[in-house]
């Protein structure tokens, strides 16, 4: 039954399908589910800090169902995208319905596309990394794994990381700095790697250049074959997914800093350098992304064995609710700054083991 709880993550694509199939009634259903129903339910359900015991971890790791739950998201995401493009082109939809469907599809681009791609992007097999790139293509964010794996995990909670929010930095200022900063960092990392192999940065050996070409061709094909309205709606859904991802990045490390041990050198990433949430629905919906301290402490750990870390600072709300609160900077600062003002790493109640 442990693995079956993650089937709950498929409620969002089902709700999004309903939004696309019956846009006259349910076009905003995906948005309402993600940022309406989930935050409300998480205020009722208590957080669960329970960890798996060490003896059960090898059993969880060899259970392939956990992997297939991720793999199946690729055809689900592309199926929803196909229906979305069909409805925005040949469906008799009003501007209001187009906006609603774009928002609902954008929820899947962020929660399913980029988030599942993030998990698969940390895997070592070529098949899983290919699936990761296919999912990222649906949000036009294929450069994400380059910067995230080689940049963010190295420089998180330091001034060198574009995806770490600074104290007193609003979400809107963070978006303006982070989104181009992530691309610039990915470009630099890819170009350095290409040069180290003795290849031209303007050739097919440059990974990020290939990604940019693929994304341009993908968007142009949608515009040429399906139509300009579908293309514009797709760009809106992709942007929604990107903003959703970077909003998560904003809350994950807001105001947290690693100590500089020497010029340009920083202490090892510790559990207190990530904000965490044990709110159950957000954990399942995001495949345990909210147990973020353990992910940064050991990036190779698969989602099903990520742990509650007693030294990791805890958000008072789940990730979906925190994302909503971050849209109002004064409210966000009021909630977070009291939690940042401590003299030593925060020590929440220790984790229990099942």
* Element containing residue 262 per DSSP (H, E): strand 260-262
Strand partners, 353: 51
pLDDT at 354: 40
3-state secondary structure of 343: coil
Question: Which pair of tokens denotes residue 28?
Answer: 């905003």
Residue 90 CB: number of other CB atoms within 10 A? 12
d(CA 93, CA 70): 32
d(CA 194, CA 191): 5
d(CA 89, CA 84): 9
pLDDT at 1: 62
For the segment 142-159, what is each residue's pLDDT rounded down to a tens digit? 999 999 999 999 999 999
d(CA 351, CA 353): 7
Beta carbons of 269 and 258 less than 8 angstroms apart: yes
In order along its 354 residues, the chain shows pLDDT tens digits of: 667 889 999 999 999 999 999 999 999 999 999 999 999 999 999 899 989 888 888 999 999 999 999 999 999 999 999 999 999 998 789 999 999 999 999 999 998 899 999 999 999 999 999 999 999 999 999 999 999 999 999 999 999 999 999 999 999 999 999 999 999 999 999 999 999 999 999 999 999 999 999 999 999 999 999 999 999 999 999 999 999 999 999 999 999 999 999 998 999 999 999 999 999 999 999 999 999 999 998 888 999 999 999 888 999 999 999 999 999 999 999 999 988 875 334 433 333 334
Beta carbons of 190 and 206 less than 8 angstroms apart: yes
Strand partners, 51: 353
Q: Which regions of 154-256 does DSSP assign to beta strands (E)?
A: none
pLDDT at 90: 87
Q: Is residue 131 classed exposed, middle or buried when 0-12, 13-18 and 19+ CB atoms within 10 A define those classes?
A: buried
pLDDT at 268: 93
For the segment 23-73, what is each residue's pLDDT rounded down to a tens digit? 999 999 999 999 999 999 999 998 999 898 888 889 999 999 999 999 999
Beta carbons of 112 and 34 less than 8 angstroms apart: no
First-to-last alpha carbon distance for the chain, in angstroms, is 14
């Amino acid at each position: 039954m442990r693995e079956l709880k993650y089937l709950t993550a498929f409620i969002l694509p089902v709700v999004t399908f309903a939004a696309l199939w019956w846009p006259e009634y349910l076009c905003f259903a995906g948005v309402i589910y993600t940022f309406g129903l989930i935050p409300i339910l998480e205020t009722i359900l208590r957080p669960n800090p329970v960890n798996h015991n060490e003896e059960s971890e090898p059993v969880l790791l060899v259970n392939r169902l956990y992997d297939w739950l991720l793999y199946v998201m690729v055809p689900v995401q592309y199926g929803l995208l196909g229906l979305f493009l069909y409805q925005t082109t040949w469906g008799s939809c009003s501007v209001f319905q187009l906006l609603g469907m774009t928002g609902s599809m954008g929820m899947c681009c962020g929660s399913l596309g980029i988030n599942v791609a993030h998990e698969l992007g940390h895997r070592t097999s070529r098949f899983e990394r290919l699936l990761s790139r296919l999912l990222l293509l649906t949000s036009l964010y294929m450069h994400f794994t380059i910067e995230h794996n080689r940049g963010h995990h190295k420089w998180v909670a330091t001034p060198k990381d574009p995806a770490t929010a600074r104290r007193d930095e609003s979400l809107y200022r963070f978006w303006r700095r982070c989104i181009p900063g992530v691309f610039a960092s990915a470009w630099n990392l890819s170009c350095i790697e290409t040069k180290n192999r003795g290849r031209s940065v303007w050739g097919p050996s440059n990974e990020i250049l290939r990604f940019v070409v693929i994304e341009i061709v993908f968007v142009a094909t949608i515009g040429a074959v399906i139509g300009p309205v579908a293309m514009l709606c797709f760009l809106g859904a992709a942007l929604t997914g990107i903003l959703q991802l970077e909003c998560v990045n904003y809350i994950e490390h807001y105001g947290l800093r690693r100590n500089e041990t020497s010029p340009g050198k920083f202490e090892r990433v510790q559990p207190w350098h990530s904000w965490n949430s044990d709110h159950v629905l957000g954990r399942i919906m995001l495949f345990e992304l909210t147990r973020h301290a353990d992910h940064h402490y050991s990036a190779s750990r698969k989602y099903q064995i990520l742990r509650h870390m007693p030294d990791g600072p805890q958000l008072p709300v789940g990730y979906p609710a925190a994302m909503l609160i971050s849209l109002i900077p004064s409210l966000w600062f009021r909630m977070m700054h009291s939690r940042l003002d401590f003299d030593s790493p925060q020590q929440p109640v220790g984790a229990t083991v099942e």
